[in-house]
């Protein structure tokens, strides 16, 4: 017979996950390791942003696989990423193929980012052209995405499908996980993981990088009632997390992400695992 769980303090539980599983220890299994390397080497912010965008947009599917592909790129260009994408060699560079995108399509993406940098001076400038209108994150991301699409179209028109997959439209209402992950890296203050390069975006404006795992965990924790994994759901979860940390709600991405990516959450299928989970007292899927 099940008994009623007592009212758990979800904030305290999420904080405990952050303490027990420090995010900084997880960077080696995360695509942020690539921009972090450039950051720690004191490379220009223009290059760090470019590496971050390339790494974020390839970060779907199996982490082991996309990390291998990004590493392959960094090795092939001898870690001179900015010079590679902004120079003539970008056209003949050995870009990797990855899942839904051919090497040719990934090459167009990287070259288009290089052309945005050549035209706007940096990715950040292209973002700020939209963001500064209303201090709105979606406007900024849309401005950046459109600037890259425009440059990609100058290389090849119509755009191939595998390229569009790399650059989802932030205004289309989807969860835009990879864009929000990129923004987290740029806007959260330097903490050994994120890099705080874009202080004009307040951490309180960020949205959670949402995927299927995170949304299921969030539903089980009562952070959202929405059934779809879209922009509005990311907003609803982020608003809830703001109640726990008004200035920096997305720090809790690490608490939820740890359970999702690490494959430790089976969403209630393995109750033995649930009983060992720090979020168990607050989780509907963890039965008492
Ligand atoms: S209690 Fe179980 S279902 Fe809930 S978050 Fe933890 S592992 Fe996942």
Q: What whole-number distance in Å separates Cα of residue 191 and Cα of residue 23?
A: 9
Q: Which residues contact 23 (CB under 8 A, 6 or more apart)?
A: 191, 192, 193, 254
Strand partners, 164: none
Q: What whole-number distance in Å separates Cα of residue 12 and Cα of residue 194?
A: 22
Please give the backbone phi and psi of residue 54, each rounded to the nearest 5 degrees, phi first: -60, -45
User: In the structure, how many helices (H) and strands (E) does the chain have?
Assistant: 14, 0
At 236 the pLDDT is: 98
At 263 the pLDDT is: 57
Atom number of ligand 1 nearest to Cα 278? 6
Question: In a mutational test of the pocket of ligand 1, which residue from 256, 270, 273, 275 has the highest number of ligand atoms less than 8 Å from its CB?
Answer: 273
Q: How many domains does the chain have?
A: 2
Atom number of ligand 1 nearest to Cα 217? 5
The answer to whether residues 83 and 45 belong to one domain is: yes
Question: In a mutational test of the pocket of ligand 1, which residue from 214, 215, 263, 283 has the highest number of ligand atoms less than 8 Å from its CB?
Answer: 283
At 8 the pLDDT is: 83
The answer to whether residues 109 and 188 belong to one domain is: yes
Measured in angstroms, how far is the CA atom of residue 279 from the centroid of ligand 1?
Answer: 6
At 276 the pLDDT is: 87
The answer to whether residues 49 and 187 belong to one domain is: yes
At 234 the pLDDT is: 98
At 48 the pLDDT is: 98
Atom number of ligand 1 nearest to Cα 285? 3
The answer to whether residues 35 and 15 belong to one domain is: no
Burial 65-77 (b: 16+ CB within 10 A, else e): ebbebbeebbeeb
Question: In a mutational test of the pocket of ligand 1, which residue from 214, 269, 274, 281 has the highest number of ligand atoms less than 8 Å from its CB?
Answer: 274
Host domain of residue 5: 1-26+207-288
At 258 the pLDDT is: 72
Q: What whole-number distance in Å separates Cα of residue 148 and Cα of residue 129?
A: 13
Q: Residue 232's domain is classified under what CATH number? A: 1.10.1670
DSSP structural state of residue 203: G
The answer to whether residues 37 and 167 belong to one domain is: yes
Question: In a mutational test of the pocket of ligand 1, which residue from 14, 252, 267 has the highest number of ligand atoms less than 8 Å from its CB?
Answer: 267
Atom number of ligand 1 nearest to Cα 264? 7
DSSP structural state of residue 193: S
Ligand 1: lining residues by beta carbon, under 6 Å? 217, 220, 259, 265, 267-268, 273-274, 277, 279-280, 283, 285-286
The answer to whether residues 189 and 224 belong to one domain is: no
- Residue of the nearest CA to atom 8 in ligand 1? 265
- Residue of the nearest CA to atom 4 in ligand 1? 283
The answer to whether residues 66 and 161 belong to one domain is: yes
The answer to whether residues 63 and 20 belong to one domain is: no
The answer to whether residues 116 and 188 belong to one domain is: yes
**Residue 225 burial by Cβ neighbours in a 10 Å radius (0-12, 13-18, 19+):** exposed
Measured in angstroms, how far is the CA atom of residue 8 from the centroid of ligand 1?
Answer: 14
Q: Which residues contact 25 (CB under 8 A, 6 or more apart)?
A: none
The answer to whether residues 223 and 279 belong to one domain is: yes
Q: What torsion do the CA atoms of 167, 111, 93, 87 make, to the nearest 10 degrees? A: -160
At 1 the pLDDT is: 40
The answer to whether residues 52 and 181 belong to one domain is: yes
Domain final residue, candidates 177, 202, 227: 202
Measured in angstroms, how far is the CA atom of residue 181 from the centroid of ligand 1?
Answer: 23
Mean pLDDT, the chain cut into blocks of 10 residues (288 residues total): 62 93 87 98 98 97 95 98 96 96 97 98 98 98 98 96 95 97 98 97 98 93 96 98 98 82 77 89 84
Measured in angstroms, how far is the CA atom of residue 267 from the centroid of ligand 1?
Answer: 6
The answer to whether residues 65 and 183 belong to one domain is: yes
Q: Is the bond preceding residue 158 a cis peptide, omega within 30 degrees?
A: yes
Measured in angstroms, how far is the CA atom of residue 263 from the centroid of ligand 1?
Answer: 11
């Amino acid at each position: 017979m099940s008994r009623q769980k007592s009212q758990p303090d979800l904030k305290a539980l999420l904080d405990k996950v952050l303490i027990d599983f420090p995010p900084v220890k997880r960077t080696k299994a995360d695509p942020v390791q690539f921009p972090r390397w450039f950051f720690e080497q004191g490379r220009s912010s223009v290059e760090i942003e470019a590496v971050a965008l390339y790494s974020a947009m390839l970060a779907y599917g199996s982490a082991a696989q996309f990390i291998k592909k990004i590493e392959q790129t960094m090795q092939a260009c001898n870690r001179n990423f900015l010079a590679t994408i902004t120079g003539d060699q970008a056209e003949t560079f050995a870009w990797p193929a990855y899942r839904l995108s051919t090497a040719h399509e990934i090459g167009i993406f990287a070259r288009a980012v290089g052309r945005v940098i050549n035209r706007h001076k940096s990715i950040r400038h292209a973002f700020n052209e939209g963001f500064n209108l209303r201090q709105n994150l979606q406007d900024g991301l849309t401005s950046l995405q459109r600037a890259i699409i425009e440059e990609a179209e100058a290389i090849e028109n119509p755009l191939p499908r595998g390229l569009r997959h790399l650059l989802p439209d932030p205004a289309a209402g989807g969860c835009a996980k990879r864009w929000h992950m990129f923004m987290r890296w740029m806007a959260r203050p330097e903490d050994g993981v994120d890099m705080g390069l874009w202080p004009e975006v307040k951490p309180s404006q960020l949205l959670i990088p949402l995927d299927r795992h995170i949304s299921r965990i969030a539903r089980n924790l009562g952070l959202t009632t929405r059934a779809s994994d879209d922009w509005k759901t990311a907003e609803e979860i982020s608003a809830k997390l703001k109640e726990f940390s008004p200035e920096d709600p997305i720090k809790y991405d690490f608490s939820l992400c740890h359970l999702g990516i690490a494959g430790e959450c089976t969403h209630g299928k393995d109750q033995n695992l649930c009983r060992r989970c720090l979020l168990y007292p607050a989780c509907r899927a963890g039965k008492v």
